[in-house]
Chains A and B, each alone.
Chain A
Amino acid sequence: MSMDPAALGNVFPSPDGAARGPAISHRFRFHGTGNSLFLLILKNLLLTMLTCGIYAAWAKTQQRKFMWQNTEFHGQRFLYRGTGEELFVGYIKVAACYAVFILVPTLIRQFSPEAAIAVQVVFGLGLLFLIPFAIYWSRAYLLSRTSWRGVSFALQPGAKPFAKVFLGGYLLTLLTLGVYAPVWMNRMHAISINRTSFGNMPFRYDGKDSEVWKLTMKGWLLSICTLGIYYFWYISELTRYQLDHTYLGDARAHSTLRGGALFRIMLVYIFGTTFTLGLAFPWIACYALEQMFETMSFEGDIDFAKIGKAEATGNAMGDGLADAMDLGLSL
C-alpha cells in the first residue's frame, strides 16, 4: 500500500494514474525543542495559577503558536492567528450556556420535580446532538486561525452534513455492535477533508469505505491476538492509507510512517512520562512530533500562485464548547 518515492526512482504517479516527470516533494519538519516547550509550560502554569485559571486561554494560545509555528512545510512555517482574548470570550459564552443548562432544571424543580426530570432528559439528548457540531465548529475555528504563507485554511460553513454522518453512523455502529465503525470513521474523515481547503483550493479524499473496513478489521483482530502490540502497525497502515488518498490540487499527500516507529514513540512516551512523573512530556512531545512530521509530505506540483485567500469563518466558542465537552480536540 505504501508508495515510497525513493523506491519508484522519484517518479510519483499523479491522481489520474499517468506517471509524470520528477515530482516536487513538499516536506514537513518540526523545529520545536523540549527545553523551550518546558519553559513555556512552566510560565503558563505559573500565570494560570496566579490568575486562578483566567490565563488558561492565553496559555493555550501560546502553546498552539509554539506547535504550529515550529512546524515547517516546504520551507515556511505555519502561523497560528488565534488570540487568547477570543478564546477567553468563547469560554465565557460556553460557561454561560452551561449555567443555563444547570440552572433551568434547578429552577423548574422548585415547581415541578417531574418537569425538571423531563427538561434534564431533553437537555441531555440535546447535548448528545451537540457533539458533532462542537467537533465541526472547533475544527472550523482552528483551521480559520491557521495560515501558511499568509493564506488561511478553511472549513466549509454549515455543520449539518457532518452532524448527519456523525449521528447516523453512530446509530449504525451501535446497531451493528461496532462492525460499521470503520465505515463511520472513514466517512467522517472524508467529509472533514473534503470540506477543508487551503485558501480557495480544496483538499480531496478518495479513500474507500470497503478498503478502510478491511484494513481496520484486520487491525483490530490482529491487535486482539497480539494483546495490543499490532495496534501500532494498524494505526500506521491506516495513517498511510488516509494520507495517500488525500490530495491538494495535483499533489498527493504521502506518509512513510511504520508501525515500528510508532511503537518506539509510544514506548518512549510511556516510560518517559512514568519514570519522570510527567516532567519529560515536553521533550517527548517534541520528539514525537519531529518523528511524525519526518514521515509526511505532499508529492507533486502545487501551483501556489493560483491559490487565493479563503473567507475567514469559525469562532472561538466552537473551540470552547469542544473543550468543555472534553472532545479531545484540544491542541
Chain B
Amino acid sequence: MQWQAEFADGQAPVMQPVLVRLEPGELLVESVASGEPVARWPLVETSLDELQEGGVAIVQCRLQPLAQLTITDPALAAELRGRVGRGERLPGTGNRRRFAIAATLAIAALAAGIYFSIPVLARAIAQRVPLAYERELGAQLLPFFSNEYCADSKADAALAELERRLDPRGEVAAELHVWRSDMVNAFALPGGIVVISEALLKEASGPDEVAGVLAHELEHVRQRHVMSHFIRATLLAAGWSVAVGDYAGLMVIDPTTAFNLVNLRFSREEEAAADAAAATTLDRAGVSRRGLHDFFQRLREDTDVVPAWLSNHPSSESRAQLLGTGDDGPPASSPALDAEAFEALQRACREE
C-alpha cells in the first residue's frame, strides 16, 4: 500500500510530492514526478512528530537530519505509529478529559506532598545547622538594629536576672538587647539574639508581662524557629522553581505571595508552639502566666484587625485563650523582677 505525502530533502526549501511505502523495517519514499526513490529510511532511525494540530504529522530520519516528510493522511500516521524508533504526540489523544483530570489530581497530590513535607524538612535541617553559622547570619542583620540599642547597666542586669529565672541552666544562651523603638514588639534574630522594644517595656504593666514575652522569644531561639523559617522560605522558592520550571510566568499569582501565605501558616504554628512552651517555662520559673495573658488581651484590639490567615501570628485572642484564664498554672512564687529592677528596665533608653 502507498500513501501521498510531501518531501523536502533539506538542500532547498522545495516540497516535492512523493509516494510513501512501508517496506519491512524501512520507509521508502519515491518521487511522483520521476518515480525514483528519494529516501529509504530505516524505521528504527525514524521519528514521527504529531505535536502539530490540523492533521499534519512530520517524519524525520536521524540519518538524514535535514530532510523531512510531511504527511496529512491519518492512515499513514496510524501505520507509522508504534513502528518508528521515536514518536511524539499531543497528550490525551485517547481521552482528553480523563487525561486532564488524572494529571490535575497528580499535580495536586504532589503539591500537597511538598506543602506538608517542607516544614518538617525545614525543622529537621534547622536543628542540624551549626549554631556558629546561625550566629554569623545574625551578625549580618545586627547593624540594622545595633545603632538603636539602649545600653544601661542596670537595665542589662535586670534582663540578665530575668533570663536566669527563665533559663536557670543556661541552655538557650541568648543575647538580649533593648531596642529604642515606638513599636510594641519583641523578636528573635538568627544566632540567639533577642530584641525587646522600649515601647513594649513601657507598655508592660508589670515584670511578669515582660517575663512572658521573653519566655516566648527564648523558645523561638531554643527551637531554632528563625533558622527553620529561613530554610522553609528557601525550600519553598527552590521547590517552586524546580517544580514549575519555565512556567512560572504563567501564574498570575506572584509566587512570592504564594510563598508568604504558606510561610505565614507555619509561622503561626511556630508562634503557637512558642506560646505553649513559654507557658511551661513560666510555670517552671514560678512566674505567673497572668502577665503574658493580660499582654495578649491588651494587644487584641490593635492586632486582631488582620484576618488570621494573613497574619504571621495567631490572633491575640487565641493566644490569650491558650494561657487559660491567666491563673491556670501553678501559683507564682514571686514577681519576675523586683520593683527596682523593673523600673530600671523600663528606663533602659532614657538619656542621663
The answer to whether B245 touches A76, judged by C-beta atoms less than 8 angstroms apart, is no
Q: Which of B40-69 contact A (CB under 8 A)?
A: 49, 51-54, 56, 58, 65-68
Contact A65:B13 (CB < 8 A) given known A31-B54, A42-B91: no
Contact A32:B65 (CB < 8 A) given known A305-B14, A330-B246: no
Alpha-carbon separation in the docked complex, A36 to B54 (Å): 12
Contact with B along A239-281 (1 / 0, CB 8 A): 0000000000000000000000000000000000110111001
Contact A69:B52 (CB < 8 A) given known A40-B90, A149-B8, A149-B13: yes
Chain B residues closer than 8 Å to A330, beta-carbon distance: 246
A126 nearest CB across to chain B (Å): 24
Q: Which of A42-77 contact B (CB under 8 A)?
A: 42-46, 48-50, 52-53, 55-56, 59-60, 62-63, 65-66, 69-70, 76-77
Chain B residues closer than 8 Å to A65, beta-carbon distance: 49, 51, 88
The answer to whether B52 touches A150, judged by C-beta atoms less than 8 angstroms apart, is no
The answer to whether A48 touches B243, judged by C-beta atoms less than 8 angstroms apart, is yes
> Is the C-beta of A33 less than 8 angstroms from some C-beta in chain B?
yes
Residues of B in contact, count (CB < 8 Å): 44
> Is the C-beta of B75 less than 8 angstroms from some C-beta in chain A?
no
B286 nearest CB across to chain A (Å): 48
Among B9, B13, B53, B110, chain A packs the most CB atoms within 10 A around the CB of B13
Chain B residues closer than 8 Å to A43, beta-carbon distance: 91-92, 99, 103
* Partner-binding segment picked from B125-133, B146-154, B250-258, B320-328: B250-258
8 closest residue pairs by CB, A with B = A150-B8, A56-B245, A53-B242, A149-B13, A150-B10, A42-B103, A43-B91, A278-B252
Please list the residues of chain A having a beta carbon within 8 angstroms of any beta carbon in chain B. 31-33, 35-36, 38-46, 48-50, 52-53, 55-56, 59-60, 62-63, 65-66, 69-70, 76-77, 79, 81, 147-152, 198-199, 273-274, 276-278, 281, 304-309, 323, 330
Chain A residues closer than 8 Å to B245, beta-carbon distance: 44-45, 48, 53, 55-56, 59-60
> Is the C-beta of B241 less than 8 angstroms from some C-beta in chain A?
yes
Contact A277:B52 (CB < 8 A) given known A43-B103, A77-B58, A152-B66: no
What are 27 A-to-B residue pairs whose CB atoms are below 8 Å?
Answer: A32-B53, A39-B90, A39-B100, A39-B103, A40-B90, A41-B250, A43-B99, A45-B243, A45-B245, A48-B244, A48-B245, A49-B107, A53-B243, A53-B245, A65-B49, A77-B58, A147-B68, A149-B8, A150-B10, A150-B66, A199-B12, A278-B250, A304-B13, A307-B13, A308-B11, A308-B12, A330-B246
Contact A66:B51 (CB < 8 A) given known A45-B107, A49-B110: yes
Among residues of A, the one whose C-beta sits closest to the C-beta of B90 is: A36
B88 nearest CB across to chain A (Å): 7
The answer to whether B110 touches A46, judged by C-beta atoms less than 8 angstroms apart, is yes
The residue from B11, B100, B247, B253 contacting A45, defined by CB atoms under 8 A apart? B247
Chain A residues closer than 8 Å to B91, beta-carbon distance: 39-40, 42-43
Contact with A along B278-299 (1 / 0, CB 8 A): 0000000000000000000000
Chain B residues closer than 8 Å to A277, beta-carbon distance: 251-253
Contact A42:B100 (CB < 8 A) given known A52-B242, A79-B68, A274-B252: yes
Chain B residues closer than 8 Å to A46, beta-carbon distance: 103, 106-107, 110
Chain A residues closer than 8 Å to B2, beta-carbon distance: none
Contact with A along B89-119 (1 / 0, CB 8 A): 0111000100110011011001100000000
Contact A309:B66 (CB < 8 A) given known A53-B242, A150-B10: yes
Given contacts A40-B51, A49-B110, 14 further A-B contacts (CB under 8 A): A39-B100, A42-B103, A44-B247, A45-B103, A52-B243, A66-B90, A79-B58, A79-B68, A149-B14, A150-B8, A199-B12, A277-B252, A305-B14, A307-B12
> Is the C-beta of B70 less than 8 angstroms from some C-beta in chain A?
yes
Among residues of B, the one whose C-beta sits closest to the C-beta of A285 is: B250
Among residues of A, the one whose C-beta sits closest to the C-beta of B67 is: A150
A69 nearest CB across to chain B (Å): 5
The answer to whether A38 touches B100, judged by C-beta atoms less than 8 angstroms apart, is yes
Alpha-carbon separation in the docked complex, A70 to B50 (Å): 10
The residue from B51, B99, B242, B251 contacting A69, defined by CB atoms under 8 A apart? B51
The residue from B49, B68, B90, B252 contacting A273, defined by CB atoms under 8 A apart? B252
> Is the C-beta of B15 less than 8 angstroms from some C-beta in chain A?
yes
B249 nearest CB across to chain A (Å): 8
Alpha-carbon separation in the docked complex, A44 to B14 (Å): 34
Contact A45:B244 (CB < 8 A) given known A39-B99, A66-B51, A150-B67: yes
Chain B residues closer than 8 Å to A278, beta-carbon distance: 250-253
Chain A residues closer than 8 Å to B67, beta-carbon distance: 150
Alpha-carbon separation in the docked complex, A300 to B350 (Å): 85
Among A31, A45, A60, A76, chain B packs the most CB atoms within 10 A around the CB of A45
